[in-house]
Chains A and B, each alone.
Chain A
Amino acid sequence: GENVEQHPSTLSVQEGDSAVIKCTYSDSASNYFPWYKQELGKRPQLIIDIRSNVGEKKDQRIAVTLNKTAKHFSLHITETQPEDSAVYFCAASRSGGSNYKLTFGKGTLLTVNP
C-alpha cells in the first residue's frame, strides 16, 4: 500500500518568514495530493490540493509543488502569520473509480512566532 513520509515533524518560524513542508510518497500510481490544516483541538480542514497532471498550484499565500518523477510534493507558506500556527498533514491517494482512500503523513507542527 501507499506510504507517505512527512518532514519536518516540527517547524518554528518568525512571523513574515516562509515555511516549507515536504512529503514523499511510495505509490507511483497516486494521483491526488491534498494538504490539511488542523488547529489545536479542531478537525482537519483542506487548505489546498493538487492533482498529478499539474506541477504547481497557488492560492494566495500558500502553494503546493509536485514532482512526480521524484515522488515528492511540498507545501509553501509565504509571509507567515501567527494564525498559520497549526499541524499540517499531507496525504496521497490513488483516486478513481470507487477509491477515495487517503494515506496521511504524520504531520508537521508549525509554530509562527510573533
Chain B
Amino acid sequence: DAGVIQSPRHEVTEMGQEVTLRCKPISGHDYLFWYRQTMMRGLELLIYFNNNVPIDDSGMPEDRFSAKMPNASFSTLKIQPSEPRDSAVYFCASTPPGLAVYEQYFGPGTRLTVT
C-alpha cells in the first residue's frame, strides 16, 4: 500500500495566482480530510468528505478556498487567489470505514509558499 499520496510536495507561487493541491487517499478509505498546519495555528481541519460528499467545511477560511472530491480516489484543494498568509503545510488524511477505526492516515504534505 502506497499510503496517502499528495502532490506537489512543494509549491512556490506569487500572490494572486491560483494554487491546486492534490490528494489520493488510501484505496478503500471512505473518509478524506484536508488540514492546514502553521506554527501559529497548529493543525487546523479545513474540510472533510465521506464517500466523496463534503460533511463539514466549517474550517475553510474563506471563499478563496474550495475543495472537491470527484471520485473515491482523488481530491483537490484550490486556493484562488492565493495570498502570503496562505503559506503553510497542507496535509491530506484518510480513514477506513467502520465505527471501530478512527485512525487518520496522513499524507506527506504539500509545503505552500506564497510570495
Interface segment out of the listed A11-19, A20-28, A64-72, A100-108: A100-108
Q: Which residues of B contact A89 (CB under 8 A)?
A: 42-43
Interface segment out of the listed B19-27, B76-84, B99-107: B99-107
Given A43-B108, A44-B91, residue A98 in contact with residue B102 (CB < 8 A): no
Query: CB < 8 Å: which of B42, B44, B102, B106 contacts A32?
Result: B102
Say if the beta carbon of A81 comes within 8 Å of chain B. no
Give the A-B pair count, Cβ closer than 8 A.
49
Report B8-51 CB contacts with A as 1/0, cut-off 8 Å: 00000000000000000000000101000000001111001010
- Number of A interface residues, CB 8 Å? 23
Q: Which residues of A contact B31 (CB under 8 A)?
A: 100
Main secondary structure of the interface of B (DSSP, over half): strand
Contact B102 A100 (CB under 8 A): yes
Given A100-B31, A101-B48, A106-B42, residue A34 in contact with residue B107 (CB < 8 A): no
Q: Which residues of B contact A44 (CB under 8 A)?
A: 43, 91, 106
A-B contact pairs, 14 of them (CB 8 A): A34-B103, A46-B103, A46-B104, A49-B103, A89-B43, A95-B99, A96-B99, A100-B31, A100-B33, A100-B50, A100-B95, A101-B56, A102-B33, A103-B45
